[in-house]
Amino acid sequence: MKLDVQWGAKLAVVACALALAGCATENDERDSMGSRLEQPPHGVKRPPPIEAGDIALVGQDVATAILQLEPVRDASVPPLVRFNGVTSIINPPIDTEPYTELLRDRLLLLTREKLRFVEHTLPPYNGGHKKHAAAPDESSDAEYQVLAEMRGQATAPTYKVQVEFVEIGSGNVLFNQTYRISKESDDSQPDAGQYTAPMAAPQPQTQSAPAPQNSGSGDSGTPPPGYYDPKPTGNNSGGGGGVL
């Protein structure tokens, strides 16, 4: 009888574990509903997202992985890549511009020697000269594209972001990874609607000329007008201030 109770308890624990695993899979699949990126088939256990900390670290990891891909690594001419920014299926919608900027900065910086990005993704570099007219859109010539999508619960402390590197001609997904990131603080983004003009700098108080000092020669006349340095100079043998 005791043995039956123990087996019953073990079966209950296993059932709870399976139920929790099912809930986790269900939640993850619910988060990805409406996604335009490649997802595992329904019911397939998904690998847990990589803990990346923030979107900048995601960009660093993605850039490293892309540079190791054979088509990129062995290309004689840097391929042209399209990146239209980070999208979101989080409800209610969130502002993804801070995430787009941080991810784009990392990708452009770390892949600049092996990849080229279309001009509408990054303004043309002008070398410090005057701004030129925008270059024509080259997105139709892009060979690859970076897709990034955020999902999760708006009330949760973290988000998930999935990043893919796709060959446009064939549609092959050469890189596909999901990361868990922290939210970018709204405090770091100033609100233009609540802009407050800086306080005016305090005006320096006018300093009066120091009182004349007796140079020791017996001359008690009034010194000529001018600015006086209160610090004694090396050439002044008397001890009074010297005229600048």
Q: What is the pTM of this model?
A: 0.60
2-35 burial, b at 16+ Cβ within 10 Å, e below that, comes to eeeeeeeeeeeeeeeeeeeeeeebeebbebbeee
pLDDT given for residue 87 in this prediction: 95
Tokens 């549609």 -> residue: 171
pLDDT in tens, 11-29: 555 454 444 444 444 466 6
Q: Report whether pLDDT(130) > 60.
A: no
Best-predicted range by mean pLDDT (120-129, 172-181, 200-209)? 172-181
Evaluate whether 81 touches 115 at the Cβ level (below 8 Å).
yes
Of the two residues 134 and 47, the one the predictor is more confident about is: 47
pLDDT given for residue 205 in this prediction: 52
Average pLDDT of 46-69? 95
pLDDT given for residue 40 in this prediction: 87
Tell which residue, 235, 205, 181, has the closest CA to residue 61: 181
pLDDT in tens, 67-119: 999 999 999 999 999 999 999 999 888 999 999 999 999 999 999 999 999 96
Q: Report whether pLDDT(207) > 70.
A: no
pLDDT given for residue 213 in this prediction: 56
Say how many CA atoms lie within 13 Å of 158 toward its Cβ.
14
Evaluate whether 82 touches 118 at the Cβ level (below 8 Å).
yes
| Domains of the chain with bracketed CATH | 48-123+138-189 (3.40.50.10610)
